[in-house]
Amino acid sequence: MKEKLLISACLCGKNTKYNGKNNLLLKLSDLEKSFDLHLICPEVMGGLPIPRDPSEIKGDFVFSSQGKNVTKEYQLGAQRALRIALKNDIRIALLKESSPSCGSFQVYNGEFTHEKIPGEGMTTKLLRKHNILVFNENQITDLLNFIK
């Protein structure tokens, strides 16, 4: 039986990014061979539309580029992603780096200057609090080696 993997839908070619596009992974077929994929998009699961204004974390809050506080939507999306993981006994996630939901090592600085800083997205932070390992798209080799 394959290991289950919670994965950002945009990495699987689903057009869920803020701009209506995706971040399709070239190694998606390798992941599909090794994992039972469970696709999520915390932003959409939290009620945000596609497309939507880009958002960034500033302190403990998330704001859109238009200044709207969208923290509640990001929190709801994170909670729904966690519920899916727990319900399906998923212990590993592969999420989109730098996203205010899914960033695992870095996020944008909250100033909309395209500058990244060390940090975690809201979903990543919540998953890690529940001992779910979070990898990003730059760690696919590490992820595949982890399950061997």
> Residue 13 contacts by C-beta under 8 Å, 6 or more apart in sequence?
22, 24, 28
Digit-coded pLDDT (tens) for 28-51? 999 999 999 999 999 999 999 999
pLDDT for 18 beyond 90: yes
Q: pTM, whole model, 2 decimals? A: 0.97
C-alpha to C-alpha distance for 70 and 52, rounded to whole angstroms: 11
